[in-house]
Structure 1
Amino acid sequence: MTTKLPDNIMFIKWPTDNVLAFTTNRLPSPSPLSVRKSQYLLSSTANTQDEHSAFSAFNLGDHVGDCAEDVAFNRISLLQYLPKQTKIQWFEQVHGNHVAEILDYENKTIIADAAITRNKHIALAIMTADCLPILLSNQEGSEVAAIHGGWRPLSTNIIEQTIAQMHSSPSDIIAWMGPCIGAKKFEVGQAVKQTFCEIYTPFSAAFSPCESVTSDSKIPKYWADLQLIAKLQLLTLGVNNIIQLSECTYSNQTKYYSYRRDKKTGRMASVICLNPT
């Protein structure tokens, strides 16, 4: 395990030593790749510079138009922060509510927006660029889960479905919520608010009116708080041990990718695995 961390990796202080978790950002990695990219940018045309600056030096998304070789290098570089013989299981996230139980590592992306594993040699990685990453484990540290908390998965009860497939009781679960688009930057329409409020009336607390310039000023718009929505869901399910990293991906352009801000952009990853002792 590497002891000195680069600026683009942040380890999460998990309540049990049997679980290891970290999250990434878009800051450059102190690696040959970042040097090579810097040299490339200096010798590129203006158009190519714009294209590569959309991804910066540490993009982990292989579906956004970045150089496949660079993305593969970035993904492989994460292995040095994991226990030996641990492999990262990546997913194709489709904003659905399918929960995959990962028994063994598969050398391909699995279509799912949440996953659970009890295999000590598998790390689960959730990619985000405004959506809410949610990581779970039990107190003992014998199973972990990762959830892609976009508003669509959250509105179709992906948290509940994930916890239902875990072997642990909700009161025994630890939840971590990472950086996502902030409560005063995520603008949604009446339909999104209504979708959540029909599920659970207290979700109305996660929406506040906002003034937007639209073609029809009578159309109501709201600021949506993804972290509050997820927290209310977790508490309702009986999960009370909740850790939050409340940083806005939209507002912090230097540190985080944001799809809503930039459209063409990279992806961060939140990674969790069992930590054999």
Structure 2
Amino acid sequence: MELLIPDWPAPAGVGAMTTLRVGGYSPAPYDDGHGGPGLNLGLHVADDPLLVARNRALLRRLLPQEPAWLSQVHGVEVLDAADLPAQPQADGCISTTPGAVCVMMTADCLPVLFCDRAGSVVGAAHAGWRGLAAGVLERTVAAMRARGAVDVMAWLGPAIGPDNFEVGAEVREAFLARQPEAEAAFRDYPGRPGKYLADIYQLARQRLAAVGVHDVSGGGLCTVADQRFYSYRRDKTTGRMASLIWLK
């Protein structure tokens, strides 16, 4: 198994990582990108659920307990990793409980990990364009602050990059309606009138800055261009990676 470890100034008591494609049991099209078995962690992508369970078991060995797996719906709901309902649907997760693991699955959408400088609260959010435009990052930060977080920092995980994220005018308008400065994150797609290339990293930084989160690391890893990552935009039928964070 290969992992991406965030490079950010998180306290020593915070654990965080993002999985890559390599090192599991899943065959193509959920493989490692080179014909070997892949570490698909998504149960909703038509992979063999027994193989997904084996992949999750590999991941579980690296964690203090089973992650708080959610049904992600491109919304703004935020749940507590230590207190999930029977059928948890959410795109944000927080925790103040040592050992409880927040997790988000992605394959082009932006995973964002959070912690406070005191190392008392952690969080994770799944930011596809709909959730990002609707305020999932702001809702996650607000939930953390409600639990006592003061100085929140964020790490932006691998997502579709600005050279590959083609969107229509409706996506651009959804962001401009909330933040006029979002215009800087869109550029015309050459030769395709009415289409734009969007910078999801810049959009996320703008949203975080608006709620006072300025210590933002990461960004710049494109899931479409880099074969280490699963990418729905590139491959259509594909697996899911996980970005995880917990208090030790």
1:89-100 map, 5 Å: 89-100=68-79
Please, which of 186, 192, 196 is the counterpart of residue 165 of structure 2?
Answer: 186
Q: Which residue of 2 aligns with 1:118?
A: 96
- The answer as to whether partners of 1:18 and 1:140 remain within 8 angstroms in 2 is no
Q: CA deviation at 1:103?
A: 3.3
Would you identify which runs of 4 or more consecutive aligned residues in structure 1 move more than 4 Å?
Answer: 168-171
Instruction: Give the TM-score of the pair, scaled to structure 1.
Output: 0.82
Q: CA deviation at 1:10?
A: 2.1
1:54 aligns with 2:29: yes
The 3 A distance-change label for structure 1 pair 235 and 171 is: farther
Aligned equivalents of 1:141 and 1:268: distance in 2? 25
SS at match of 1:145: strand
1:19-168 map, 5 Å: 19-29=14-24, 33=25, 52-56=27-31, 57-83=38-64, 86-104=65-83, 110-167=88-145
The 3 A distance-change label for structure 1 pair 129 and 212 is: farther
Q: Given residue 54 of structure 2, which amino acid in structure 1 is its aligned partner?
A: F
Q: CA deviation at 1:53?
A: 1.4
Q: Given residue 27 of structure 1, which amino acid in structure 2 is its aligned partner?
A: V
Aligned equivalents of 1:12 and 1:236: distance in 2? 23
1:274 aligns with 2:242: no
Q: Identity rate of aligned residues, in percent?
A: 38
1:250 aligns with 2:245: no
The 3 A distance-change label for structure 1 pair 105 and 195 is: closer
1:16 aligns with 2:7: no
Q: Given residue 255 of structure 1, which amino acid in structure 2 is its aligned partner?
A: R
SS at match of 2:61: helix
Q: Which residue of 2 aligns with 1:233?
A: 207
Instruction: Give the TM-score of the pair, scaled to structure 2.
Output: 0.91
Structure with higher helix content: 1
SS at match of 2:23: coil
The 3 A distance-change label for structure 1 pair 170 and 198 is: farther
- The answer as to whether partners of 1:95 and 1:150 remain within 8 angstroms in 2 is yes
Which one has the largest radius of gyration? 1
Could you list the runs of 5+ residues in structure 2 that have no partner in the other structure? 32-37
Q: CA deviation at 1:171?
A: 5.9
The 3 A distance-change label for structure 1 pair 238 and 170 is: farther
Q: Deviation string for 1:122-169 (max 9, x for gaps)?
A: 101100000000000111111111100100001101111111111367
Q: Given residue 29 of structure 2, which amino acid in structure 1 is its aligned partner?
A: A
Q: Deviation string for 1:40-96 (max 9, x for gaps)?
A: xxxxxxxxxxxx31111110000000010111111111122223xx22110111111
Aligned equivalents of 2:7 and 2:197: distance in 1? 30
Moved more, 158-167 or 186-195: 158-167
Aligned equivalents of 2:150 and 2:216: distance in 1? 11
Could you list the runs of 5+ residues in structure 1 that have no partner in the other structure? 1-5, 38-51, 214-218
The 3 A distance-change label for structure 1 pair 89 and 232 is: same
Q: Deviation string for 1:176-211 (max 9, x for gaps)?
A: 001100101000011110110110111111101012
SS at match of 1:166: helix
